[in-house]
A and B are shown apart, each in its own frame.
Chain A
Amino acid sequence: MDFLSDFFTLFLGKLQSPTLGFLIGGVVVAAVNSRLAIPDPIYKFIVFMLLIKVGLSGGIAIRNANLLEMLLPAVFAMIVGILIVFIGRYTLAKLPKVKVVDAIATAGLFGAVSGSTLAAGLTILESESITYEPWAAALYPFMDIPALVTAIVLASIYISKQRDTADEALSKQEYLSKQPVTAGGYPSEQGITASGYPRKQPERVKIWPIVKESLQGSALSALLLGLALGILTRPESVYESFFDPLFRGLLSILMLVMGMEAAARIGELRKAGQWYALYAFFAPLLHGFIAFGFGMIAHYTTEFSLGGVVILAVIAASSSDISGPPTLRAGIPSANPSAYIGSSTAVGTPVALALGIPLFISLAQALG
């Protein structure tokens, strides 16, 4: 009982942190239809600043770290990323009125990682003065890319199976002569024509373009650039005078934007259906706890710190909001973006931020 009461005291304390305060503030502001808006370029710039700062601090610290320690957590991150997509494939996709491709895309987005959620997690860890491995932020791509690749491959397999079983897909010529081409309603009646990667042979998915596109995404590029600069150059002076002091203020503005965005996307989620809302609420916590379990295995076998375990859980709980959606839109064109972006932004991200992070940190503190 003591453990539980300690845990809840810690948990309630976390809910008052500025990060979550600003997030909830954003939701409230948007809910009362306020015309307050944070300009989009500022939002993009903040995301860049946060990730380059996370990368820099990781890079600076990695110089004298033993990278072999990273092996097991990185493998676990990959496993969790792939597992999340399969969990979605066999839970969400099986529910009534849920289209399988939409469900796979949603699971892919929940498997992918949100840079802003990661930044928020790191900030709260620091404010709680919990130590974590300097390279922990670099686990991001190890979970993000496998999840997106798995989702796109699964969806392509499913679509080509559907096409084989469909009575007769219309050939392109017939399609063109039969009807005036209009902006097609979603979805097309005669089986979906996949025109994703690659165009010529829809049944074979090329992995490399997906990986490349993920790495070229704005969030991951900034993180990797920061890491490289931190390792190869000596950015300490600019880091200490500029990136580090601004970090927390920028993060709170970002949280405000995330809150506003979440409230704005609720309507879209309503269109997508209640099952998505349910999945989006429980999935981040479930994924986080699975990763927490894996992290604890690493903790007991390779001295992976509890702070690192929390980071692994936070990136598992997070769902991508910047670089994931375009990758999925191009990779699974027949999936409905309202379903997955709505689930992720309106419910998934707020849950991961407001419940996930405090839960995992409290759990780590109670265990530590």
Chain B
Amino acid sequence: MTQQASKLVIVTEKLLLKKIAKIIDEAGATGYTVVDAGGKGSRNVRSSGQPTISDTYSNIKIEVLTPNRDMAVKISDEVAAQFFDDYSGIAYLCSVMEVLHAHKF
């Protein structure tokens, strides 16, 4: 029994995690996954390792599975409008995923 879903991926600064988590919850998504991230973006190169001095510099990748595309776009728009002027970040959508083995998402 597979379920259709959209996956929204947001890569941004760790500092914003709490605020973004709130937006995700308010949009009605049932959960999300967060991992440490590194790589190269339009602003600069970030290592995936924790920077020495402060967490200000580390990045995270947040993945949200939503039952439809609209919810994912709503989350993404809200996050972009609030933060992406001032913080580094990117959001992209992977449509039509199949979710296996989830009681509910």
Q: Which residues of A contact B (CB under 8 A)?
A: 38, 40, 43, 172, 175-176, 181-188, 192-193, 195, 199, 257, 260-261, 264, 321-322, 325-326, 329-330, 333-334, 337-338, 341, 345
> Would A195 and B85 count as touching, CB distance under 8 A?
yes
The verdict on A326 contacting B55 (CB below 8 Å), with A183-B89, A185-B42, A333-B87 known, is yes
Binary CB contact string for chain B from 35 to 59 against chain A (1 if under 8 A, 0 otherwise) = 0000001111000011111111100
B68 contacts A by Cβ under 8 Å: no
Q: Does B81 contact A (CB under 8 A)?
A: yes
**What CA separation (Å) do A237 and B53 show in the bound complex?**
32
Taking CB atoms, residues of chain A closer than 8 Å to B88 are: 183
Q: Do A326 and B56 touch across chains, with their CB atoms under 8 A apart?
A: yes
Q: How far is the CA of A40 from the CA of B49 in the complex (A)?
A: 9
Q: How far is the CB of B83 from chain A (nearest CB, A)?
A: 7
Chain A residues in 8 Å Cβ range of B90 = 182-183
B56 contacts A337, C-beta separation under 8 Å: yes
Checking A192, A325, A326, A337 against B85 with a beta-carbon cut-off of 8 angstroms, the contacting residue is: A192
Nearest CB of B to A217, in Å: 10
Q: Is the CB of A257 within 8 A of B52?
A: yes
Tell me how far the C-beta of A55 lies from the nearest C-beta in chain B, rounded to whole angstroms: 21
Asked whether, in the complex, the Cβ of B85 is within 8 Å of the Cβ of A193, the reply is yes
| A-B CB proximity, top 8 nearest | A333-B86, A181-B80, A325-B56, A40-B50, A183-B90, A188-B85, A326-B56, A334-B86
Q: Is B82 an interface residue (CB 8 A)?
A: yes
Asked whether, in the complex, the Cβ of B82 is within 8 Å of the Cβ of A326, the reply is: no
Instruction: Say if the beta carbon of B77 comes within 8 Å of chain A.
Output: yes
A267 nearest in chain B by CB position = B44
Bound complex: CA A293 to CA B24 (Å): 52
B84 at the binding interface (Cβ < 8 Å): yes
Residues in A whose Cβ lies below 8 Å from that of B52: 38, 40, 43, 257, 260-261, 264
Question: Are A181's CB and B54's CB within 8 A?
Answer: no
Is B97's CB within 8 Å of the partner chain A? no
Q: How far is the CA of A184 from the CA of B55 in the complex (A)?
A: 21
Residues of B within 8 A of A193 (CB): 85-86
* Candidates A176, A195, A345; contact of B83 at CB < 8 Å: A195
Shortest distance from the beta carbon of B9 to any chain A beta carbon, whole Å: 13
Residue of B13, B43, B83 with most chain A CB atoms under a 10 A cut-off: B43
Q: Please, which residues of chain B bring their CB within 8 A of the CB of A321?
A: 53-54
A residues less than 8 Å from B44 (CB atoms): 338
- Docked-complex contact A192 and B91, CB < 8 angstroms: no
B96 at the interface (CB under 8 A from A): no
Q: A40-B50, A329-B15 are in contact. Are A181 and B84 (CB under 8 A)?
A: yes
Partner pick for A186 among B43, B53, B56, CB 8 A cutoff? B43
Q: Which of A181, A192, A264 is in CB contact (< 8 Å) with B86?
A: A192
Identify which of B56, B82, B84 contacts A329 (C-beta below 8 A). Answer: B56
* Interface contact B55-A181, CB-CB below 8 Å: no
7 contacts between A and B (CB under 8 A): A182-B42, A183-B42, A183-B88, A187-B85, A264-B52, A322-B54, A338-B44
Shortest C-beta distance, A72 to chain B (Å), equals 33
| Extra A-B contacts (14), CB below 8 Å, given A184-B86, A186-B43, A341-B57 | A40-B51, A43-B52, A181-B81, A193-B85, A195-B82, A199-B82, A257-B52, A321-B54, A325-B56, A326-B54, A330-B15, A333-B87, A337-B57, A338-B44
* A299–B56 alpha-carbon span in the complex (Å): 39
- In the complex, which residues of chain A have a beta carbon less than 8 angstroms from the beta carbon of B54? 321-322, 325-326, 341
Chain A residues contacting B53 (CB-CB under 8 Å) are 261, 321-322, 325, 341, 345
User: Which chain A residue lies CB-closest to B44?
Assistant: A338
Residues of chain A contacted by B15 (CB below 8 angstroms): 326, 329-330
Question: Which of B13, B41, B81 is close to A176, meaning CB atoms less than 8 Å apart?
Answer: B81
Q: How far is the CA of A341 from the CA of B52 in the complex (A)?
A: 12
